[in-house]
Amino acid sequence: MLSDKSMFHCYLGGATLLGWQIFFPFYGPGLRWISFNILDTGHFFILGILPGLLCSGWFYCSRYNKGRIICIEKIFPPLIFISTLLMVAVRPLPASYFFIICMLIQGYSAGWLLIRLVTCMSGAGTVRNRGMVIGRIMAVSIVLVFVYIGISGKVELFSRGIIISSAAAAVGGALILSIPLPEIYDLSKDRLKLGEIVPHKSIMLYGLIMLSLMGLYYSATLPVGLLKSIPLRVIPWVFYVIALLAAGKWYDNNGSFIVAAASFTLVGIGFIVWTLSSRIPAYILLSQVLALSGLACSNVYLWASLTDNPSIKYPPLYFAVGMTARMISMAGTIAIVQMLGFDPLSHNRVIGVAGAALVFAGMFPLLYYNLIYGKPDGTALDLRDTHNVPWEHILGVRIKHLLVNTYELTNRETEVACLLLKGYSNRQISKLLFISENTVKYHVGNILGKVGVSKRQDMCQIVSDSIERSGVR
């Protein structure tokens, strides 16, 4: 379990790192409040963060060496601050080589630190409240963005807000590095299989669609001049923070499906309202409130789904691949909208219909993959195979909390136990987890011993009774 100190470092480190990214390099929605024409600079940051995500994910899984990792990790927080100071001192043009190199360095450093944060969050220390942890980190990061906006005070790209935000990100990165790694992932001993690092197709499809919607929203429906009043421009972000906190709680208490469904519903209605907005401030405000609230739910769902999957073997690399696909989807959508030259108000119907169509395209796959769990051989999972475990518990991920806390199962034993409760055979489990059947039998024996039974049917019945008594979801 993470100590209170480590959890505090997780909150503060993650919030300051994300707050800095949102304020400046990651398409700068924060800076767009005080400066214009900086949207293109985010592409350079994306080009840096993508290799940072993949390299760090691979490094944590395949080349675990404590001394070497500590040596490499320590350079990234100061690099964020130093590169920012150099940009402020030189004040290069956004298209200059110097500016591009600094943005690439910042992106690579941010990608590495994000994977380090997620690696710590993927351990058992946050298993009971992972959604709430993610929601709170993101909510605090948005609050920090507005603090930086207030500090900046000048309508210029290189303001004091950028210096302070990057300094906070450097401190936050150091706090993230102080959190102990949950376990060692040694990829070098095994032959890497694609299924071990590529997220499930339902999560990938959801991420691609929602990040396309996010790119469409940022580039086409959130320009500076649509809502003239500062209070009106703040209101959607207030709802964004509230939605982050609510989505984190929903994810922990009710499972992931309600959060994903809420995201599609809110974003879809938001884009429908946008088709009617024209130049009416009330419609513009309502569409932004709904869309941002839905995007907040999607952020919590995606982050939590990529760190809260009981069947993945290498969480750092798994998250890196999923996050990389998300970044490419968002950046690609923004680039397309910019090339097409859409005017938000003149083309509001086209933008609204496109957004609603994306929502429609993604909702049915989400319903299918969440309501019909397939077995490894492609057949549907029959309710009778779950040995009387309620269907809503099988669909949710909260069942593993009871397995970890009540029976003190290890991460791998928890994965095997969850699959046993779903009715999987030893052979199916071995295929899904990429381990031998003998290894599965070994884990099953350990699980039965810790539960105190000799047959897997008895284990399923005992766990089912425990679920009913505890009300775990």
Q: What is the pLDDT of residue 245?
A: 93
Residue count of the chain: 473
For residues 287 and 304, give the distance between their C-alpha atoms in angstroms, rounded to a whole number. 26
Distance of CA 176 to CAs 23, 78, 304, 430, Å?
19, 13, 18, 34
> What's the CATH number of domain 191-371, 3.20.20.370, 1.20.1250.20, 1.10.3720.10, 3.30.390.30?
1.20.1250.20
Q: 381, 382, 385: which is closest to 373 by C-alpha?
A: 381
Distance of CA 289 to CAs 236, 240, 251, 271, 319, Å?
4, 7, 21, 11, 29
Alpha-helical segments (H) within 256-314: 256-275, 281-307
pTM (predicted TM-score): 0.74
Averages of pLDDT over runs of 10 residues in the chain (473 residues) are 78 92 73 52 84 85 55 87 89 78 91 87 64 89 88 68 91 90 56 65 78 80 64 86 91 74 86 81 87 89 74 72 85 81 74 83 64 37 34 44 73 79 77 75 87 81 68 47
Q: What are phi and psi of 309, to 5 degrees?
A: -105, 115
Q: What are phi and psi of 283, to 5 degrees?
A: -70, -40
Q: What is the pLDDT of residue 400?
A: 63
The reply to whether domains 191-371 and 383-470 share a CATH topology is no
Which architecture does CATH list for 383-470?
A: Orthogonal Bundle (1.10)
Helix, coil or strand: residue 221: helix
Q: What is the pLDDT of residue 28?
A: 60
Going from N- to C-terminal start, the domains of the chain cover 1-189, 191-371, 383-470
Q: Which residues pair with 374 in a beta bridge?
A: 380
Dihedral through CA 216, CA 218, CA 222, CA 224, nearest 10?
-140
Residues of the chain by 3-state class (helix, strand, coil), percent to 5: 75, 0, 25
* Residue found under tokens 């767009």: 32
DSSP character at residue 96: S
| Contact between 275 and 159 (Cβ < 8 Å) | no
Query: 338-367 burial string, b = 16+ CB within 10 Å, else e?
Result: eeeebebeeebeebbebbbebbeebbeebe
Query: 132-160 burial string, b = 16+ CB within 10 Å, else e?
Result: bbbbbbbbbbbebbbbbbeebeeeebbbe
Homologous superfamily assigned to 1-189: MFS general substrate transporter like domains (1.20.1250.20)
For residues 438 and 332, give the distance between their C-alpha atoms in angstroms, rounded to a whole number. 45
CA 419 vs. chain centroid, Å, equals 24
For residues 421 and 440, give the distance between their C-alpha atoms in angstroms, rounded to a whole number. 14
Distance of CA 407 to CAs 122, 257, 410, Å?
19, 26, 9
Q: 307, 261, 291, 268: which is closest to 133 by C-alpha?
A: 307
Alpha-helical segments (H) within 341-455: 348-371, 391-395, 399-407, 411-421, 426-433, 437-451
Query: 83-116 burial string, b = 16+ CB within 10 Å, else e?
Result: bbeebeeeebeeeeeebbbbbbbbbbbbbbbbbb
HSE at residue 34, side-chain half, CA atoms within 13 A, is 23
- Report the Cα–Cα distance between both ends of the chain, in Å, rounded: 21
Q: What are phi and psi of 385, to 5 degrees?
A: -75, -5
* Residue found under tokens 């299989």: 193
